[in-house]
Structure 1
Amino acid sequence: MVKKYVVSPHGGRGGHPDIASALRAAAARGRAARVEIAPGHYEERLVVRGEVELVALGEPGSVVVSRPRGTVLDALGTVAVRGLVLVGRGADAGVVDCQGGALVLDRVEVRAHDAVSVHVRPHAAATLTDCLFRFGRVVFAGSAGHVERCRFADSADNALAVIENARVTVRASRVDGARVHGVRVSDAWAHLTGCEVTGTEKAALMADTRAELTVEDCTVEAVHMAALAFIEQSGGSVRGLRVTDAENGVLVASGADPSVHGSVFADCRDTGVHVQDAGRGTFDDCEILGAGNVGILSTRGGAPRVTGCRVSGGNVGIAVTDKARGRFARTAVMDLTGVALRVWDESKAVFEQMRVERCPFGLETRGNGGTTAELTDTTVHDFAMAAVAAVGQSRATLERVRAERGLLGFSAGEEAQLHLRDCGVSGATAGGALAHGSARLVAVNLDVAGAESFGVCVTGSAYLDVAHSRFDGCGATGMRFDGSGGGRLVECSVTGTGATAVQHNGRVDLTTLRTTLPVVRIAEPAAAPASVVNNYYGPVFHSAVHHAQLAWNNSQVVQQQTDRSDEDGAGR
C-alpha cells in the first residue's frame, strides 16, 4: 500500500514544511510513497530513493523547486515527478540526475541555466511526457528512454543527446532554437516520429559515430545548417521528412549510408541532398524544390543511389563532381535556370529513365578522361541550349535518348567523346548534333527530324562516325563538314526538301549515303600567305640617325660623352 505525505510551506496538521523532510520520512518507512506538494516555491535539493511519486497539488507549474547551484532532483529507484517546475544553475550532473532505476517526468518544466536539464545515466531508464525543457540539454547516456509531447526550447547546446549506446524513442515533440543540434545521436539508437525542429544553429538532426537514426513524419524549418546529417558510418531510415529553409536538406558524409524515402526538401539555400567524402545513401521518391545551388549533389567521393525522385526549380538539378559517383533512375528534373544533369572532374554517373524538362542544358560533362556519364532511356524536352554537351576529355554514352524542342540536340567539344545509340532529335532550332574542336562523335541509329539548320555538323578537327542513321527535313543541310574535320558515314540517309544533303570538305566517306538531295563540296579557304620574319644580326635603320651610341654582342660597355664645342668650334 502506498503511503501518502503532504507538504505545505505553511505547515499544517500532519504535514511537512518542506519536501526533503517528507522524503526522509518516506525513506525511513521503506515503503512506496506519494508526496503531495502544495503550491509554492521550495528552495532545496531533493534526494529521492526507492519507490516515490512527487505530485503538485495545484496546476502544473504551481510548485517550483530550485537551488542557487547544482542538482535539484537526485533520483535512484522508481521515481515519478508530476507537475513540478525544477530550476537549477551550473548543474553539470544535471538539474535532474537519474542515477539508476526508472524515472518518469510528467508535465514537468526544467529550467537549466548554464547546466544540463536531465541526465539519464547508464542502465537507467526515463519516460518524459508533456514536459518543457528550457536552456539546458537532455542527455541519455547508455540508458533507455521514451520522450513524448515534449518541448525543448533555447538550449545552449544540443537540445537532446542520445549517446553511448543509449536507445530512445521520441514522439510528437518540438525543438526550438538550439545553439548546436536539435537531436544528436552518437554511437546510439534513436527513433523520432512526428517531431518538429526549428532554429538550430547546426544540423537539426545529427547522427554520428555509427549511430542508427530513424526519422518518420518529422518537420524541420528555418535552420542555419543541414536539416539532417548522417556522418561517420552512421545509418538509419528517413521517411516522410519535410524540410523548409535549411542550408542543406540532408548531408551524408564519411561512410554514412542512410535510406531516405518519401521526403520533401524545399527552398534549401545550398543543396537539397548533399553526399560527400565517401558518403552513400539511398534516396527514393523524394522531392527537391527550389534549391539555391544544386538539387542533388554528389562530390568528393560521394556515391548516392537515387530512384523515383523529382527535382524542380533552382539552378542545377543533379551534379556529380570531384571524383564522385552516383546512380540515378526514374527521376524528373525540370524548370531550372542552369543544368539538369552535371558530371565533372573525374566523376562517374549513371542516369536511367530520366525526364528533363524546361532546362537550358540537359546533361553536361566536363573533365579529363576519367569523367564519364551514361544516359539511357531518357527524354529531354524544351531545352534552351543543348540537350547533351560533352567538353574537355570527358566521355558520355547515350542510349535511347530523345531530345525534343531546343537549340541543339547533342554536342561534343574540345577532346570529348560522345557515343549515341538509338537516339533522336526533333524540333531543334539549330541542329541535331555537333562535333567541334578535336572531339569524337560516334552515332548508331541516330534519328534527326525537323532541325531548322543542320542534322549533324563537324567543325575544327573533330571526327564523326555515323552508322544506320536518318536525317529528315533539316532546313539547310543534312550534314556539314567544315574545317579539317572528317568522318565516316555507313548506311545513312538524308531526306526532305532541304537545300543539300551533305556539305563536305572532302574528308568524309560518303559511299553508302542514300539521298536524292545534292551533295556539295565546300571549297577550302585559300591558305594564308606565309609570314616572313627577317632576323638581322645588328640594328636596322630606316631613316637618318644622329649622335647614336651603339653596342651589341659585348659583355662590357664603357660610355663617354664628348662636348659638342670640340666638334663645331663653338666656345663654352
Structure 2
Amino acid sequence: MVARYFVSPRRGRRGYSDIASALDAAAGRGRAARVEIAPGRYEEALTVRGDVELVAVDGPGSVVVHRPRGTVLEASGAARVHGLVLIGRDADVVDCRAGTLTLEHSEVRAHNGVSVRGRPNTAVTLRDSAIRHGRTLFAGAGGLIERCRFSDAADNAVAVIEGARVAVRDSWIGGSRIHGVRVSDARAEVTGCELTGTGKAALVADTQAELTVSGCTIHAVDAEAVMFIEQSRGSVDGARVTDTQHGIAVASGADPVVRGCTLTACRDTGINVQTSGRGRFEDCEVLAAGNVAVLSTQGGAPEVHGCRISGGNVGIAVTDAARGRFTRVEIGDLTSVALRVSDDAKAVFEQVRVERCPSGLETRGGAGTTAEVSDSRFRDFGMSAAEVLGHSRVTLKGVVAERGRLGFGVGEDAQLFAYGCAVEGVSSGGALGFGRARLVARNLTVTGSEAFGLCGLGSAYLDVADSGFVDCAAAGASFDEKCAGRLADCSVDGTQGVAVQHNGRVELVSLRTSLAVVTKEPEPAEPAPTTVNNFIGPVFHREVSGTQLAWNNHDVIQQQTDEDGSRA
C-alpha cells in the first residue's frame, strides 16, 4: 500500500512544512510513497530515494521548487514528478543518479546549467513537460521524451551521448544556441517533432552514432536541418524542411538513407554530400534551392533515386573529385544548368528528365572528369542540352534533346561519345565539335535544325557513322577551318540547304542524299612577310683602312692624331 504525505507551507494537521521533511519520513519507512504538495514556492533541495511520487495537488505550475545554486532534485530509485516547476542555476537542476525518473506536466528551468541529466544505466522519461534554457543530457542512459517543449537552450536542447538510447516524440524544440538534438556515439529516434531557430544543425549525428528521423518539420535554421558526420548512420523519412542553409548534409564517412523528404527554399543546398560522405536518397523533392539543389563534392558519393528538383539555380553538381549516381530524376525551371560535373568528378545519370533550364549538362575539368547519361531527355533548353569542355569526357546513350539552341557541343580538348541519340527542333545546330575536341557519334539523328545538323570547327575531329540528318536548313553537316574526321554510312534528307559542306579534310563514306555536297577550296596561304633592308651610309666593295667616315651630320670636325692616339 502507498503511504501518503502532505506538504504545505502552513502545515496543517499531520502535514509537513517543506518537501524535504516529507521525503525523509518516506525514506525512513522504506515503502512506496506519494508526496502531495500544496501550492507555494519552496526553496530547498530534494533528494528522492526509493519508490516516490511527487505531486502538485492543485495541478501543473502551482508548486515551484527553487534553489539559487546547485541541484534541485536528485533521484535514485523509482521517482515520479507530476506538475512541479523546478528552477536552478549553475548545476544539474534534475539529476537521475540511479534507477528511473519520470517527469510529467512539469517544467524545468536551468540557468547556466543542465536541465535534466540521465546518468549511465538510468532511464529518464519526460512527458508533457517544458524544458527551458538548459540542455537535457542523456549520458549512457535510456530515455523517452513525449509531447515536450524545449526552448532557448544555451547549447544543445537534447544531447544523447556515450551509448545512450533515447526516443523523442511529438515534441517542439526551438531557439537552441547550438543543436536541437545531438547524437554522439549513441542512438536516438526523433519522430513527429518540430524544430526551429537553432544556431547550428537542428538534428546532428556524429561519432558513429545512429539517428532515425521520421515525420519531422524543420524550419528557420541557421545551418543544416539534418546532418550526419563522422561515420554515423541512420535514416530520415518524410521530413519537411524550409528556410535552412542546407537541407540534409552528409560528410566524413557518414551513410544515411533518406526517403520521401521535401526540402524547400534552402538558402544554399538542399542535399549536400562531401568529404567521403555517402547516402541513399529516395523520392525526395528539392524546391527553390538558393545555390545547388543536390551537391556532391570533395569525395562525396551519394546515390539519388526518384528525386524531383524544381526552381532555384543549379540542379545537380558533382565537383572536386566527388562521385554520384542519379536515377529517375526530374529537373525543371532552373536559372542555370541542370547537371554540372567538374574538377575530376565522376557522375552517372540514368532516366533523367530536364525541362525549361538554360543548359542541360555541363562538364569541365581534367581528364578525370567524366559523365555518363543514358535514357534521358532534355527539353526546352535555352542554350545547349550538353556542353563538354576542358579535358572532360562524356558518354551519351539514348539521350534526346528537344527544342533549344544547340543539341550537343564539345570543345577545347574534351571528348564526347553519343550513341543512339536524337536532336529535334534546335535553332543553331544538332551537334558541334570545336577547338581540339573529339566527337564520336553512332546512330545520331538530327531533325528540324534551323541551321546545321553536324558542325566541326577549329581542329576538332568528328567521327560520325550510321546517322541521319533531316530537314536541316543550312547543311546536314558542315566542316570548316582545320576540322577533320569521317562521315560514314550517313544520310541527309530534306528540301533545302546542302548535304555536306566540307573542307577536304573529312572522309565521306557511303553518304546517302539527294542534296549537294560542296567542297570548299582551301584558303590560300598568307604571303610571307616582306623583308626591307634600309642601308644608310656608304657601301664598300673592297677592304678599306685609314679612313674617317661621317654621315647624317650637319657639322664635322676632323682632327689628325699620331699612332698613339694623341693629337698631332
Question: TM-score over 0.5 for the alignment?
Answer: yes
Alignment partners' CA distance in 2, 1:420 and 1:458: 15
Structure 1 match to 2:141? 143
Alignment partners' CA distance in 1, 2:554 and 2:114: 94
Structure 2 match to 1:437? 435
Q: Normalising by the residue count of structure 2, what TM-score does the alignment of the two structures yield?
A: 0.94
Cα deviation, residue 59, structure 1: 2.3
Please report the RMSD computed on the Cα atoms of aligned residues, expressed in angstroms.
1.6
Cα deviation, residue 531, structure 1: 3.5
Amino acid at match of 1:47: T
Structure 2 match to 1:67? 67
Encode CA deviations 1:300-348: one digit per residue, 9 max, x unaligned.
Answer: 0000000000011111000000000000000111110000000000000
Alignment partners' CA distance in 2, 1:388 and 1:159: 48
Structure 2 match to 1:169? 167
Structure 1 match to 2:323? 325
2:507 counterpart of 1:509: yes
Choose the corresponding residue for 1:308, options 306, 309, 315: 306
Encode CA deviations 1:497-527: one digit per residue, 9 max, x unaligned.
Answer: 1210011000111131111100011233333
Does the residue aligned with 2:22 lie in a helix, a strand or coil?
A: helix
Does the residue aligned with 1:247 lie in a helix, a strand or coil?
A: strand
Encode CA deviations 1:390-434: one digit per residue, 9 max, x unaligned.
Answer: 000000000000000000000000000000000000000111000
Alignment partners' CA distance in 2, 1:470 and 1:383: 22
The aligned length equals: 542
Alignment of 1:390-469 (within 5 A): 390-469=388-467
Structure 2 match to 1:523? 521
Alignment partners' CA distance in 2, 1:224 and 1:50: 44
Choose the corresponding residue for 1:119, options 114, 117, 120: 117
Alignment partners' CA distance in 1, 2:458 and 2:114: 70
Cα deviation, residue 485, structure 1: 0.2
2:6 counterpart of 1:32: no
Q: Does the Cα contact within 8 Å between 2:414 and 2:438 map onto a contact in 1?
A: yes
Alignment partners' CA distance in 1, 2:33 and 2:534: 113
Distance 1:192 1:538, change over 3 A: farther
Alignment partners' CA distance in 2, 1:260 and 1:498: 53
Percent identity over paired residues? 62
Structure 1 match to 2:372? 374
Runs of 4+ in 1 over 6 A off after TM superposition: 533-539, 543-547
Choose the corresponding residue for 1:96, options 91, 94, 97: 94
Alignment partners' CA distance in 2, 1:510 and 1:529: 31
Amino acid at match of 2:7: V
Alignment partners' CA distance in 1, 2:535 and 2:393: 51
Amino acid at match of 1:114: N
Cα deviation, residue 528, structure 1: 2.8
Alignment partners' CA distance in 1, 2:123 and 2:312: 46
Alignment partners' CA distance in 1, 2:296 and 2:370: 14
Alignment partners' CA distance in 2, 1:224 and 1:502: 59
Cα deviation, residue 533, structure 1: 6.8
Cα deviation, residue 489, structure 1: 1.0
Distance 1:76 1:361, change over 3 A: same
Structure 2 match to 1:358? 356
Q: Does the Cα contact within 8 Å between 2:118 and 2:137 map onto a contact in 1?
A: yes
Structure 1 match to 2:192? 194
Alignment partners' CA distance in 2, 1:356 and 1:480: 28
Distance 1:4 1:314, change over 3 A: same
Alignment partners' CA distance in 2, 1:437 and 1:26: 90
Cα deviation, residue 362, structure 1: 0.5
2:45 counterpart of 1:45: yes
Alignment partners' CA distance in 2, 1:225 and 1:302: 19
Q: Normalising by the residue count of structure 1, what TM-score does the alignment of the two structures yield?
A: 0.93
Structure 1 match to 2:231? 233
Alignment partners' CA distance in 1, 2:19 and 2:533: 107
Distance 1:536 1:79, change over 3 A: farther
2:351 counterpart of 1:348: no
Structure 2 gaps of 5+ residues are 538-550, 556-568
Alignment partners' CA distance in 1, 2:176 and 2:483: 63
2:264 counterpart of 1:266: yes
Cα deviation, residue 536, structure 1: 10
Alignment partners' CA distance in 1, 2:196 and 2:438: 52
Structure 2 match to 1:244? 242
Encode CA deviations 1:92-144: one digit per residue, 9 max, x unaligned.
Answer: xx100000101000011000000100000000001110010000000011010
Cα deviation, residue 375, structure 1: 0.1
Alignment partners' CA distance in 2, 1:265 and 1:508: 51
Does the residue aligned with 1:4 lie in a helix, a strand or coil?
A: strand
Alignment partners' CA distance in 2, 1:456 and 1:544: 65
Q: Does the Cα contact within 8 Å between 2:486 and 2:509 map onto a contact in 1?
A: no
Distance 1:507 1:55, change over 3 A: same
Alignment partners' CA distance in 1, 2:23 and 2:299: 60
Distance 1:437 1:535, change over 3 A: farther
Cα deviation, residue 545, structure 1: 8.2
Structure 1 gaps of 5+ residues are 548-572
Alignment partners' CA distance in 2, 1:535 and 1:327: 67
Distance 1:42 1:536, change over 3 A: farther
Alignment partners' CA distance in 2, 1:155 and 1:327: 39
Encode CA deviations 1:425-457: one digit per residue, 9 max, x unaligned.
Answer: 000011100000000000000000000000010
Amino acid at match of 2:460: A
Does the residue aligned with 1:55 lie in a helix, a strand or coil?
A: strand
Structure 2 match to 1:470? 468
Cα deviation, residue 546, structure 1: 8.4
Mean CA deviation greater in 527-536 or 204-213: 527-536
